[in-house]
Structure 1
Amino acid sequence: MDFSLILVLLTFAMGFIWALDVALLRGQRAARAAAAGEGAEPPREPALVEFSRSFFPVVLAVLLIRSFLFEPFRIPSTSMMPTLRVGDFIFVSKFSYGLRLPVLNTEIAALGRPERGDVAVFRLPSDPGTNYIKRVVGVPGDVVSLRDKRLWINGQPVPLELTDEIERVECGGFWFDARVAYETLNGERHRVFLGAQRDRSSPFLDRPVPAGQYLVMGDNRDCSRDGRIIGYIPEDSLVGEAVRIWMNWDAEAGRPLWHRIGNRIE
């Protein structure tokens, strides 16, 4: 079940129980206590009411923060290496691309839209219960191409600086050597991995990105199920912009990689 739905239901249930007690049940308990006389022990607050009164503010705060400010996510795959690694825990800004009601996903305030180079979290259009994270490489109207590992946008090559650095990368149980390069989108420089595979053909490249939709790719270009396969991402599938790594846990080392904690996602 959708965690946002669980939070909404819990908030409503606890708020209703607390309000019902304030409006009706508390007065009935006070009346019974008065009728019993001064020496009688006052009736205790029901456990469910006490629980709801205590935890309603906490659950409401979590719902509001998670829905409108920041939501935590964990990186499960290597598709965004070297920018994000398996074991990174990140914060996603929920207001970067507009405020939306939880569960209904209805936009209530248009505060911004994705730009080229943003690292965005979105719901997979074919499976809204699954979240993906990729880099935005094409906004509405852009024509994105991939030639010899280099992105071209609207007929212009995206700046790409190759390095001599090689990193061994796992991809679906297989390992390959990836070259580290620096790509610049919208004036922001970030690292990407380039393997030896040929550029993928795709029906979503070399054509204008439709209005209200976006084209995304993983920074690990030869190991990413991204817009080249899943197609364009509609605005109403956007969750938010990945902004910072708040925790890391390296499963192989059995410890955090301290140098990654707190890093801004570029």
Structure 2
Amino acid sequence: MSEKAEKKQSALWENVKVIVQALLLAMVIRTVLFQPFTIPSGSMMPTLLVGDYLFVNKFSYGYSKYSLPFSPNLFSGRILQFSEPKRGDVVVFRLPPNPDVDYIKRLVGLPGDRIQVTNGVLFVNGQPVPKQPDGAFTSDYRADPGSNVPVFRETFDNGVTFDTLDQSPDSRGDNTREFLVPEGHYFMMGDNRDNRWIAVSMLVSCLPKI
């Protein structure tokens, strides 16, 4: 092999090594630190809009085997957990029946909490969550595009504040039975209360508690 050919081959291998190293680094960052996520639906309007692009923090709640590619059974429970899920956190999660689909909702109920909505007001453990008018949102998701939807500012007892939408004041989500959140579960709601507003689910990426 000529010297010129050897240099060309060496340069090729160097390029391959750089590409492989970059891919491995990207995989580590995506698995351990941050993962890009695109908002798939309007369930979190007005906080997050369809198509919004964000990076999800992967390390705050620690890691389980489900945090790793192919979910290898290397350990049980959670490791390197820096904090517990808190009321008001916006969480990306997957449900056990359909682990390939990502959901994004706001955590409103902790294990043992009682959750209910009465006349459009969220109650946590029998106490109404303060709700004040906060302007209007121009919606593209109703039969009348461009119409203004009332926005309300809600505040949890831990000081977390956020805006919600109430597109249909008489929707079935405005009056519900009381839900008791089981141990090992969290109660999730979208900020757009009329768009698939409730999901009671075990957060595989946050549980079991250890």
Fold similarity call, TM over 0.5: yes
Distance 1:238 1:168 in 2: 34
- More displaced 10-residue stretch of structure 1: 131-140 or 108-117: 108-117
Instruction: Give yes or no for contact 1:193–1:219 (8 Å, CA) kept in 2.
Output: yes
Q: What is the CA distance between 1:108 and its match in structure 2?
A: 3.1
- Residues 86-97 of structure 1: pairs in structure 2 closer than 5 A: 86-97=50-61
Q: Are 2:90 and 1:122 aligned?
A: no
* Max Rg structure: 1
User: Taking every aligned residue pair, what percent have the same amino acid on both sides?
Assistant: 38
| Bigger fraction of residues in helix | 1
**Moved beyond 6 Å, runs of 4+:** none
Distance 2:12 2:197 in 1: 47
For 2:21, what is the secondary structure of its paired residue? Answer: helix
Instruction: Give yes or no for contact 2:120–2:175 (8 Å, CA) kept in 1.
Output: no
- Residues 193-204 of structure 1: pairs in structure 2 closer than 5 A: 193-195=165-167, 196-200=169-173
Q: Deviations over 1:236-264 (max 9, x none)?
A: 2459xxxxxxxxxxxxxxxxxxxxxxxxx
Instruction: Give yes or no for contact 1:76–1:86 (8 Å, CA) kept in 2.
Output: yes
Q: Deviations over 1:120-154 (max 9, x none)?
A: 11113331111111111111111101011111111
Alignment match, 1:218: 190
- Which one of the candidate residues 129, 136, 145 is aligned to 1:166? 136
Q: What is the CA distance between 1:51 and its match in structure 2?
A: 5.0
Distance 1:53 1:157 in 2: 58
Q: Are 2:147 and 1:180 aligned?
A: no
Alignment match, 1:59: 23
Instruction: Give yes or no for contact 2:42–2:50 (8 Å, CA) kept in 1.
Output: yes
Q: What is the CA distance between 1:166 and its match in structure 2?
A: 3.3
Q: Are 2:161 and 1:192 aligned?
A: no
Alignment match, 1:102: 68
Distance 1:202 1:181 in 2: 17
**Residue segments in structure 1 that go unaligned for 5+ positions in a row:** 1-32, 34-39, 240-266
**Residue segments in structure 2 that go unaligned for 5+ positions in a row:** none
For 2:204, what is the secondary structure of its paired residue? Answer: helix
Distance 1:56 1:238 in 2: 31
Closer/same/farther in 2, CA of residues 114 and 76 from structure 1, 3 Å limit: same
Aligned-residue RMSD, C-alpha: 2.9
Instruction: Give yes or no for contact 1:209–1:215 (8 Å, CA) kept in 2.
Output: yes
Report how many residues are paired: 194
